[in-house]
Amino acid sequence: MPRPRSRNYPLLSAAAVVSQLGSQSALIASAFAVLSTGGTAGGVGLVATARTVPMVLFVLVGGALADRIPRHRVMVAANALSCVSQGAFGALVLLTHAQLWQMVVLSALGGTGQALFGPANEGMLLSSVDPARAGRAFAVYRMAVNGATIGGAAMGGALVAWVGPGWVLAVDSASFLVAGTLRTFLDLRDVPRRVPGAGVLDDLRDGWREFVSRSWLWTIVAQFSVVNAVAVAGQAVYGPLVAHDHYGGAGPWGVANAAFGAGTLVGALTMTRWQPRRLLLAGTLGIFPFALPLAALAVPVPAALLTCAMFVAGASVEVFGVGWMTALHQEIPEEKLSRVSSYDWLGSMALVPVATALAGPAQDAFGRGQALWGAAGLMVLLTGAVLFVPDVRTLRRRPHGGTPGVGAEPGAEGITPAETGAAAGRGPDRAAPPEAGDAAGPRGDGGGIVPPARHTAAGPGPSADAEGSVGRAG
């Protein structure tokens, strides 16, 4: 097991598991809450959209705030907002007074909390581990959250059937209370004092300069803006349709989704032992199998082969997820982690609503099989294109988490500044991130065809939890 630099790593991991269990249960409960009040599928979609839109609108603000004030305060405040909004949602359902507009408003408040929480959590997590053990630490974290995602989805379905959606939403509210309480115990003794910049807009511009100065960073985010979008469209729209028409219903599709979740656990477990030297090269190669489920649905292949494709996709995508988190931890200055993370989040989420909205018209225009083949081909094409970026191929894991230019001549250990991104702005004066994470996430979300988890783990469908969103890094 990786040894944390302080108690922050186990606290952050425990809090993530608790809130992920509640949030994945709430994903199912919120849909049935709408239906229990006489709502339709359109109402379910409206409530889900109401949560997504604030995440896109406010994630950059969340990143700037998390780099201006102590990150743990942002995280606890966001958890409190989610606790109150989910508690009110559950109370309205239990009292049978819930109206659609009220559920939309409360869902939007939850999305706002997610937008504020995500970048702060990622910045805190990335800087809370010893650089020499970062890869294993992130793999264990992702494995724990992935397991909580799978368990939360199973628990949510059972609890909704047993006690009803209102009580499940109340449980989710309690999970945010517990998670926020755990985060108040984060060790802040060695956290550098925050020195706010001239203003939020100046901070965002500074974060943008940091983001675009690294070719490996912005090109992969651009790649995943499309990869995430077509993956979610395949999972949320085409997968259930194929299951209904060719597999006899939801049962085989549920088994395939479970196989994807099991694959993420196996992949994360593998990454606790295997630490590829070229982080992003190995990770990007792991994205190619992520197109297999889309291709399997396009044929469509027998259900057993689809299940195998989902398992392989889940396992391979974890190679990327752990490598991505390690690269951010290694290359991004600690004081800018949350702002850079917020641009990553924004790129990962922005096209998802567009893709899901266009999935139906694309099927009508080209046919379902052609739309799925197009999505799989686009994923493969963009992943191959990223490999032409030199820094993606050459960025290497530094021995013991060291920083280029510190106690070594250029090229020592076979690592050059170009390969590590030092020339892109980290600089020799920025050694390994300071201890504890306040001054300083894996995505996503879905058992099934889902985005490679960046700020979350994999779970059934686009996640609305406070630990994850569409993305890549934990």
Each residue of 225-241: pLDDT tens digit? 999 889 888 877 788 78
Nearest-CA neighbor of 322 among 265, 376, 379?
265
Mean pLDDT score of the chain: 77
- pLDDT greater than 60 at residue 401: no
What does the pLDDT read at residue 456?
A: 34
**For residues 424 and 414, what is the distance between their CA atoms, to the nearest angstrom?**
18
Report which of residues 456 and 258 the model is more confident about.
258
Share of the chain residues as helix, strand and coil, in percent rounded to the nearest 5? 70, 0, 25
Give the distance, in angstroms, between the CA of residue 379 and the centroid of all CA atoms in the same chain: 18
Between CA 8 and CA 15 the distance in angstroms is 10
| Residue for token pair 């250990």 | 413
Q: Is the pLDDT of residue 76 over 90?
A: yes
In this structure, are residues 129 and 430 in contact, taking their beta carbons and an 8 Å threshold? no
Mean pLDDT within 265-269 = 89
Assigned token pair, 407: 């106690």
d(CA 153, CA 450): 15
What is the rounded average pLDDT of the residues 153-182?
A: 87
Question: In Å, how far from its chain's centre is CA 250?
Answer: 25
Over residues 368-380, the mean pLDDT reads 94
441 against 351, higher pLDDT: 351
Give per-residue burial for 131-144: e unless 16+ CB within 10 Å, then b: bbbbbbbbbbbbbb
Predicted pLDDT at 141: 87
Q: What is the pLDDT of residue 383?
A: 96
Phi, psi of 63 (to 5 degrees): -65, -40
C-alpha count within 13 angstroms, C-beta hemisphere, residue 180: 21
pTM for the full predicted model: 0.70
Round to whole Å and give the CA distance between 103 and 93. 9
> Running DSSP on this structure, what letter comes out for residue 251?
H
- Kindly state the average pLDDT of the residues 111-133: 82
Classify residue 70 by its DSSP letter: -
Evaluate if residue 258 carries a pLDDT over 70: yes
The type of residue at 29 is A
Contact 85, 111 (CB under 8 A): no
Looking at residue 338, its pLDDT comes to 83
Enter the tokens of residue 271. Answer: 């990454």
End-to-end CA distance of the chain: 18
For the chain, give the percent of residues with pLDDT over 90: 28
Mean pLDDT within 418-433: 34
425: left (phi over 0), alpha (psi -120 to 50) or beta: left
- Arithmetic mean of pLDDT, 62-80: 86
Name the residue among 58, 312, 319, 265 with its Cα closest to residue 151: 265
Within 13 Å of residue 184, how many CA atoms lie on the same side as its CB? 11
pLDDT of residue 65 exceeding 70: yes
Instruction: Please choose, from the candidates 210, 148, 108, the residue with its C-alpha nearest in 3D space to the C-alpha of residue 19.
Output: 148
